Amino acid sequence: MLHLKPLSPGFGLEASGIDLSERLSDEAFVEIEDAFFDGQVLSIPHQRLTPAEFVAFARRFGPPEPHVIDQFHHPDDRNILILSNVVIDGEPQGLADAGTYFHTDYSYLDVPARATMLYSIEVPESGGDTLFANQYAAYDNLPAAMKRKIEPLVAVHHYGNRHVSEGEARTAASTLTDDQKAKMPLITHPLVRRHPVTGRKALYAVSGSSYGIVGMPHDEAVALLDELTAHATQDKYVLRYSYGVGDVVIWDNASLLHSATLTDPECARTLWRITVKEPVPLGHAEAVLAPTFVQRPM
Ligand code: SIN
């Protein structure tokens, strides 16, 4: 039986009474899945998982998609991306920065991410938190005129952070090799997206990978996206999660933005990450639209 308690007054749930290393019955998984869609962020502390057990659990949510940054795939299973700031003999042991800016995972793919989950292996005494911003609430609280204005708009996405050129700053997305870049076309998604499971409307990926809006001049589109980002990432929509060792934290990419925070490089932080995609290819029809007025990121 799952016990749930809120992580914050607004959203987020912590579950106890469950051991994810065991094969979960369908009933037990449905309880977890319901808590995940209700809470948007679901934390399940005190777990001890092998790579195979972590991947088996992730598969219950949808098909895992290995990250385009393949240098840090787990040697036992490429569905796990190792996030780590640990360097041994000059060799980074994982991806040190998975995005210290608000973004939505895989919003640069035609079939975006349903859930991302982190399993914490080692955590610093302080810092290394993840921030989550509730995009249902951000959408609900928009003025009616803004809702009407953005309802029909379609944003153009590309791997990266629209505000920062590659390699320029700590908040640039991690650099891709030429081969990795070749796999990253321009993709479109509605700015206001109906959640594929709950049916609720949410602002979708207004920060991070959104570089323009179809049919809108670039400067105007960026100004609108920036206005929406400023609204959507206000403190009142944000939950800060601090990890303990053994936490499994799962978040709903369709209703959240999230951001890593700066970590002291002297304090080891290692987590395994799996991202599962939405099972239905909702983005396919949108991906073939020819974007106009869109500057491709350099
Ligand atoms: C991520 O954005 O996938 C990772 C978040 C974190 O490292 O806190």
Q: How confident is the model at residue 210 (pLDDT cuts 50, 70, 90)?
A: very high
Taking CA 168 as the corner, what is the angle to CA 162 and CA 252, rounded to the nearest 5 degrees? 45
If we measure between CA atoms, which residue out of 160, 156, 158 comes closest to residue 212? 156
Average pLDDT over residues 232-257: 98
**pLDDT tens-digit readout, 104-146:** 999 999 899 999 999 999 999 989 999 999 999 999 999 999 9
Q: Considering Cα of 163, then 167, then 168, then 169, what sign does the dihedral take? A: positive
Question: Which domains are present in the chain?
Answer: 3-289 (3.60.130.10)
- Strand boundaries in the chain, DSSP class E: 3-6, 13-16, 41-44, 73-74, 77-84, 87-88, 91-92, 113-122, 130-134, 154-157, 187-190, 192-194, 201-203, 210-213, 238-241, 248-252, 256-260, 270-277
Cα 38 from chain centroid (whole Å): 17
Q: What pLDDT does 183 receive? A: 65
Note the pLDDT tens digit of each residue in 1-38.
799 999 999 999 999 999 999 999 999 999 999 999 99
Tens-digit pLDDT profile for residues 69-117:
888 999 999 999 999 999 999 999 999 988 899 999 999 998 999 999 9
On whether the CB atoms of residues 181 and 167 are closer than 8 A, the answer is no
Tell me the CA–centroid distance for residue 145 and ligand 1, in Å: 34
pLDDT greater at residue 185 or residue 150:
150
Q: Which of 67, 68, 83, 161 to mutate to test the pocket of ligand 1 (most atoms within 8 A of CB)?
A: 83
Q: How many other C-beta atoms can be found within 10 angstroms of the C-beta atom of residue 284?
A: 10
Give the pLDDT mean for 44-51: 98
Residue closest via CA to ligand 1's atom 8 equals: 260
Position 297 pLDDT exceeds 90: no
pTM of the model: 0.90
Which residue has the least CA distance to atom 1 on ligand 1?
98
Q: Which of 72, 80, 105, 118, when mutated, tests ligand 1's pocket best, judged by the most ligand atoms within 8 Å of its CB?
A: 118
Phi-psi region of 99 (alpha: psi -120 to 50; beta: other; left: phi over 0): left
Percentage of the chain modeled with pLDDT above 90: 75
Residue nearest atom 6 in ligand 1 by C-alpha distance: 260
